[in-house]
Amino acid sequence: MLKSPKTDQSVFNDVLHVLAISVIIDEKILETEMNEFSRQAVGLAEICDAEFSEADAKDWFETNKPLILEKMAGRGRNTVILKALTRITDDVLRENTYDSMIAISVSDKEYHREESDLIRSAATIWGYSRPPLKITT
Question: In terms of residue numbers, what domain contains 78?
Answer: 9-126
Residue 137 covered by a domain: no
Q: What are the pLDDT digits (tens) for 60-79?
A: 999 999 999 999 987 888 99
Average pLDDT of span 100-112: 91
Residue 34 covered by a domain: yes
Residue 4 covered by a domain: no
Residue 3 covered by a domain: no
The answer to whether residues 14 and 60 touch, using CB atoms and an 8 Å cutoff, is no
pLDDT of residue 130: 60
Average pLDDT, the chain: 88
Residue 132 covered by a domain: no
- What are the φ/ψ torsions at residue 121 (nearest 5 degrees)? -65, -45
Residue 23 covered by a domain: yes
Helix-strand-coil split of the chain, %, nearest 5: 70, 0, 30
* Nearest by Cα to 96 from 46, 56, 50: 46
Average pLDDT of span 97-116: 91
- Distance, first Cα to last Cα, the chain: 31
Residue 76 covered by a domain: yes
pLDDT of residue 3: 45
Q: How many domains does the chain have?
A: 1
Residue 2 covered by a domain: no
